[in-house]
Amino acid sequence: MSHGISADSVLSAIDRYIEFRQQNFRPNQHSKKPDLSSRTWDELRKFQELVKENPGVLGVD
């Protein structure tokens, strides 16, 4: 079932979100720059990979 959403649109939105988070990052005592390899980003990376590899599972074109 397709909802008219393309995989490219989803991936573009993820990229824009990551860029937004990096631009609005506030350093703290634990990190001075954003670390996209941290566990808090794991689910987004899994979702991004699923959209790249098998978008049909999510109903995107």
Q: What are the extents of the domains in the chain?
A: 7-55
pTM of the model: 0.73
Helices 42-53, 7-23: crossing angle, 10 deg rounding: 150
Question: Is a pLDDT exceeding 60 seen at residue 3?
Answer: no
Percentage of the chain beyond pLDDT 90 is 43
pLDDT tens track for 14-32: 999 989 988 888 777 677 7
Q: What is the CB neighbour count within 10 angstroms for residue 20?
A: 10
With the CA atoms of 25, 26, 31 and 37 taken in that order, what torsion angle do they form, in degrees rounded to the nearest 10? -20
Percentage of the chain beyond pLDDT 70 is 92
With the CA atoms of 12, 15, 21 and 23 taken in that order, what torsion angle do they form, in degrees rounded to the nearest 10? -100
